[in-house]
């Protein structure tokens, strides 16, 4: 297991923690019925995002990756291959829903943030820095999700 224990404040320690999806699900998606529901939603949305074959990296933060027994929703960032933005309109509806904020909230109980690699590494790092602070400005860790088959 590569994910560290949560701190007394319920958050992961600061930093970006890399973990396989299976580990994320085992750790955060099993202990309560609410967590099981959100874990299923996460797997559904990631299956659809991966089906585009343009998914490069995945980050998860927010209440799901804390020790709260009843997380409100999922917060996810999907980094897509450069050029994906031009393909968005041609995706099957089920895949396109992942990248539509309102549809994603409705279907997956998730705030899905996304961009393509064209955004640049510097902006990506800056963005990830924003989410390593809670809305109460408390430092917290976020999770980069990898896949067991190593193929995004």
Taking CA atoms, 147 is separated from 18, 52, 100, 112, in Å, by: 10, 15, 23, 18
Contact (CB, 8 A) for 39 and 28:
yes
- Given 130, 148, 150, 151, the residue binding other proteins (CB under 8 A): 130
Tell whether residue 5 is a contact of other proteins (CB under 8 A). no
Rounded distance between C-alpha atoms, residue 120 and residue 125, angstroms: 9
What three-state secondary structure class fits 79? strand
Task: Using the minimum distance from each CB to other proteins, give the nearer residue, 26 or 81.
Answer: 81
Q: How far is the CB of 131 from other proteins (least distance, A)?
A: 9
The residues in 79-118 that bind other proteins, with binding defined as CB under 8 A, are 84-86, 88-89, 99-102, 111-116, 118
Nearer to other proteins by Cβ, of 14 and 26: the residue is: 14
Task: Kindly state the smallest distance separating residue 58's Cβ from other proteins, in Å.
Answer: 15
- Residue 5 beta carbon to other proteins: minimum distance, rounded to whole angstroms: 25
137 binds other proteins (CB under 8 A): yes
**121 forms part of the interface with other proteins (CB under 8 A):** no
Contact 74, 60 (CB under 8 A): yes
Radius of gyration of the chain (CA): 15
Question: In the chain, where does DSSP find H-type helix?
Answer: 21-28, 33-51, 84-87, 93-98, 101-108, 121-130
To other proteins, the closest distance from the beta carbon of 67 in angstroms equals 21
Binding stretches for other proteins (CB under 8 A): 84-86, 88-89, 99-102, 111-116, 118-120, 123, 126-127, 129-130, 133, 135-137
């Amino acid at each position: 297991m590569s994910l560290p224990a949560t701190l007394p404040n319920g958050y992961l320690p600061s930093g970006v923690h890399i973990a396989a999806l299976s580990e994320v699900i085992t750790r955060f998606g099993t202990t309560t019925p609410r967590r099981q529901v959100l874990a299923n939603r996460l797997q559904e949305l990631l299956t659809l995002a991966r089906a585009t074959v343009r998914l490069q990296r995945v980050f998860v933060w927010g209440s799901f990756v804390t020790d709260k027994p009843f997380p409100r929703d999922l917060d996810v960032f999907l980094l897509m291959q450069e050029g994906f933005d031009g393909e968005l309109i041609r995706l099957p509806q089920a895949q396109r829903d992942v990248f539509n904020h309102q549809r994603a909230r409705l279907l997956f109980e998730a705030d899905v943030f996304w961009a393509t690699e064209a955004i640049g590494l510097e902006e990506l790092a800056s963005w990830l820095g924003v989410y390593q602070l809670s809305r109460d400005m408390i430092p917290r860790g976020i999770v980069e999700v990898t896949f067991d088959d190593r193929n995004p």
